[in-house]
Chains A and B, each alone.
Chain A
Amino acid sequence: MISVEQVSKAFSTNEGAVEALRGIDLQVDEGEFLTLVGRSGCGKSTLLRIIAGLVPPTGGKVTVGGRLVEKPRRGVAVMFQRPALLPWRTVFENVMLPIELMDGDSDPYRRKAGELLETTGLTEFATRLPRELSGGMQQRASLCRSLVYDPEVLLMDEPFAALDALTREELSMELQRICAASGQTVVFVTHSIDEAVILADRVAVMTPRPGQIRQIVEVDVPRPRSLGQTAHTETLSGYAAALRDLLFETPGAEAS
């Protein structure tokens, strides 16, 4: 579904060029949930933005659904760390924004929007303005907006990073459920190891300066997963421990 080939990115700054990404190769299958984990500044958000077509790569190429990515397109929804809701629109109107920007009949989508709000527990807040909602609820509304037009791909850039730990976990659970039902291909950027393990079919671990993919770890644990006590708690914490090691070791130290 998504294919990233030898993608590199350099930013020019006052102190000269900074290499943000080097030689990134990545394949994401249809319906797969891939998380990109790395420390701050490892270029994971940049990689996501390149896949979204918001930022052009310096070298290499990205295709989504077989088509070369040159600019943003509707089939690829992007969700940001901030909810990015329009403050003058009600929750429902915000969710319907992508539909308004398209031509054609909006009626089936109104039903879809209603269903999404129902699933995320926002039905009674549909006519409220965003500022009347908590951070977690705003991010739920933002998720509904991303899903309302059934995009093939959902790109999420640390969408839960600004939320408190419990709300975060709650939303991770919800996201698993929603994605399992809708079958979207998801790339999810995070710096939280727990989040990465719970959500991902595969975790791509990135190392910084320049951003490279260190290793891809397949998480072979049945869903739904949670951080609570389940039959797989130990397996999950094993994965988390392995990822932690990968993130803390520097590649240089490994070579010596």
Chain B
Amino acid sequence: MTFDSASVTAAEKAAAPDRAAAQRRSRMLPIVLPLVGLVVLLGGWWLVKIITGWNSFILPSPADVVTTIVDKWDIMISNTWVTVWETVAGFVLAVVIGVPLGVALAYSWIFDRMFSPILFGFNAVPKIAVAPLLVIWMGFGVLPKIVMVVLLCFFPIVLSTAAGVKSTPEELRELIRSLEATPFQAFRKVRLPSALPHLFVGLKLAISLAVIGAVIGEFVGATKGLGYLIVISGGTADTSLAFAALAFLAIISIVLYYALTAVERWLVPWAEEQV
């Protein structure tokens, strides 16, 4: 008996580190795998560069880009902040205008019929075509860029808010009616929270569009920002600088997206397993 139990314990002890290691592995995988993907991409890029032997001003190597980033660190960072500021300000402004408008569209079918066609029409206009107009109206500062960001992310925010508020399940509507809730109570306690999962779908789409909007704005009549850096690098054939700016834009986009996801987890923890 003693022998048996001792051997079981020994076996367990032997198995324990394995289990712990397996757990650690499964926790690390979500971090490690994307990094492996990145390494594969960079390797492929380098390989293309070596095989083709193209000049650096056509295709810089990853090393060229890194060198540029290090050499021009101050310029990179100051322009990054400009773009981040335009993106975030425009996004917040779009939320501030878009969410109430979406709620209004969901609540009033008259409002919906009156303004939905116009909204769709405006959304069909290519935003790039508006950029020169914004320069004429607002000059070369930060404002026209922020407006461009608003124009791009406004639409998905309005639509997802309206869809979310409209999607309150029938049984919840009947429940709040039978409890004689005031319209404001119904909105505050039931309809708004139940719209949040939908709203975040729109917000995540909008945040990616916001970065694009800032860059479009900076392409036309700007003196700073990552988009401006890309325009400049075209003029001076500094391809490495353009690549560096693109990499920074990608990083901004990813960071903002995950920041938004974190806010969603915090605000809507109950929806995690529904989607």
With CB as the reference atom, state the residue of chain A lying closest to B272: A131
Q: Which of B45-53, B178-186, B218-226 contacts A (4 or more CB under 8 A)?
A: B178-186
A168 at the interface (CB under 8 A from B): no
B172 at the interface (CB under 8 A from A): yes
**Given A86-B193, A87-B270, A101-B179, A78–B172 Cβ distance below 8 Å?**
no
- Number of B positions contacting A (CB below 8 A): 23
Q: How far is it, in angstroms, between the C-alpha of A73 and the C-alpha of B185 when the chains are bound?
A: 15
- A residues within 8 A CB of B174? 54, 78, 80, 84
B72 at the interface (CB under 8 A from A): no
Interface SS of chain A? loop
Instruction: Please tell me if the beta carbons of B171 and A100 are within 8 angstroms of each other in the complex.
Output: no
Q: How far is it, in angstroms, between the C-alpha of A218 and the C-alpha of B268 when the chains are bound?
A: 50
Please pick, from B175, B181, B273, the residue contacting A78 in the complex, using a CB distance under 8 A. Answer: B175
A129 at the interface (CB under 8 A from B): yes
**Given A80-B171, A87-B270, A87-B271, A52–B178 Cβ distance below 8 Å?**
yes
Which residues of B191-210 are within 8 A (CB) of A?
193-194
Instruction: Please tell me if the beta carbons of A101 and B273 are within 8 angstroms of each other in the complex.
Output: no
Query: How many Å from the CB of B101 to the closest CB on chain A?
Result: 24
Instruction: Please tell me if the beta carbons of B270 and A76 are within 8 angstroms of each other in the complex.
Output: no
**Given A78-B174, A80-B171, A84-B172, A131–B180 Cβ distance below 8 Å?**
no
**Residue interface bits A78-107, CB-to-B below 8 A is 1, else 0:** 101110101110000000011011000000
With CB as the reference atom, state the residue of chain A lying closest to B176: A101
With CB as the reference atom, state the residue of chain B lying closest to A99: B179
B177 at the interface (CB under 8 A from A): yes
A72 at the interface (CB under 8 A from B): yes
**Given A54-B174, A78-B174, A88–B193 Cβ distance below 8 Å?**
yes
Instruction: Please tell me if the beta carbons of B178 and A101 are within 8 angstroms of each other in the complex.
Output: no
Instruction: Please tell me if the beta carbons of B175 and A80 are within 8 angstroms of each other in the complex.
Output: yes
Query: How many Å from the CB of B185 to the closest CB on chain A?
Result: 6
- A residues within 8 A CB of B26? none
Instruction: Please tell me if the beta carbons of A87 and B178 are within 8 angstroms of each other in the complex.
Output: no
Please pick, from A54, A98, A100, A129, the residue contacting B177 in the complex, using a CB distance under 8 A. Answer: A54
- B residues within 8 A CB of A87? 194, 270-271, 274
With CB as the reference atom, state the residue of chain A lying closest to B185: A101
Instruction: Please tell me if the beta carbons of A97 and B179 are within 8 angstroms of each other in the complex.
Output: yes
Please pick, from B172, B177, B181, the residue contacting A86 in the complex, using a CB distance under 8 A. Answer: B172
- A residues within 8 A CB of B180? 72-74, 101
Q: How far is it, in angstroms, between the C-alpha of A129 and the C-alpha of B274 when the chains are bound?
A: 13
- A residues within 8 A CB of B169? 82, 84
Further contacts, 10 of them, CB under 8 A, given A80-B171, A87-B270: A73-B180, A74-B180, A82-B169, A82-B171, A84-B169, A88-B271, A97-B179, A97-B189, A101-B176, A101-B182
